[in-house]
């Protein structure tokens, strides 16, 4: 189903990708109970390289600081989980979108479409988003393990292709 140019770009893309994971949660204080973060870590480790996995509270300044620290260490892709809902403390979307130099609207659109097939109209509650900041791709996913599995199924194999274009 891929186009010829997409296949060419995929061939030109390096699989040597450094990833960072950020879980935002006020209720989880241990990586042991961070099922979604652990799932992302396992998936990254089977294909790419993991720089770090951070667990932080739902705090705008801490999120920006953690993102910038990862970028300073030359992380290619940052995957966030949590903080994308509608609660007052859910600040991920507003925070990362304020940083984006370019948005990757297709990620959220496809995520919601796929989620709708899985869970119905509750998919409307998702604010999954993605974009580019300082030549780094950032994907922000909901915190539920099932949502993370859905999101990763969309992007995990395309990360080299994203990085190929982002680093140009």
Assess if residue 19 is contained within a domain: no
The answer to whether the predicted template modeling score (pTM) of the entire model surpasses 0.95 is: no
- Count of structural domains, the chain: 1
pLDDT digits (tens, 9 = 90+) for 17-69: 999 999 999 876 667 789 999 999 999 999 999 999 999 999 999 999 999 99
Assess if residue 109 is contained within a domain: yes
Residue 42 is part of which domain span? 36-141+153-166
What's the mean pLDDT in 159-168? 93
For residues 93 and 84, what is the distance between their CA atoms, to the nearest angstrom?
6
pLDDT digits (tens, 9 = 90+) for 102-142: 999 999 999 999 999 999 999 999 999 999 999 999 999 99
Assess if residue 11 is contained within a domain: no
Tokens of 34: 């961070």
For residues 55 and 119, what is the distance between their CA atoms, to the nearest angstrom?
27
pLDDT of residue 6 exceeding 70, the answer is no
What is the residue-wise DSSP string for 4-23?
HHHHHHHHHS-S--EEEEEE
pLDDT digits (tens, 9 = 90+) for 74-101: 999 999 999 999 999 999 999 999 999 9
- Owner of token pair 């879980």: 23
pLDDT of residue 14: 75
Assess if residue 6 is contained within a domain: no
> In CATH, what number is assigned to the domain containing residue 100?
3.40.980.10
Tokens of 145: 């393990």
Tokens of 9: 């770009």
pLDDT of residue 15: 80
Report DSSP state, residue 32: G
């Amino acid at each position: 189903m891929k186009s010829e140019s997409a296949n060419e770009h995929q061939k030109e893309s390096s699989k040597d990708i450094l990833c960072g994971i950020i879980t935002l949660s006020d209720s989880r204080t241990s990586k042991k109970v961070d099922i979604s973060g652990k799932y992302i870590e396992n998936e990254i480790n089977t294909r790419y390289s993991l720089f770090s996995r951070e667990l932080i509270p739902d705090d705008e300044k801490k999120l920006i600081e953690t993102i910038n620290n990862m970028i300073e260490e030359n992380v290619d892709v940052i995957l966030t989980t949590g903080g994308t809902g509608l609660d007052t403390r859910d600040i991920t979307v507003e925070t990362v979108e304020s940083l984006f130099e370019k948005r990757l609207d297709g990620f959220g659109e496809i995520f919601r479409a796929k989620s709708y097939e899985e869970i119905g109209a509750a998919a409307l509650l998702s604010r999954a988003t993605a974009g580019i900041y300082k030549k780094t791709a950032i994907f922000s996913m909901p915190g539920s393990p099932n949502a993370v599995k859905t999101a990763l199924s969309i992007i995990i194999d395309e990360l080299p292709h994203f990085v190929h274009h982002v680093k140009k």
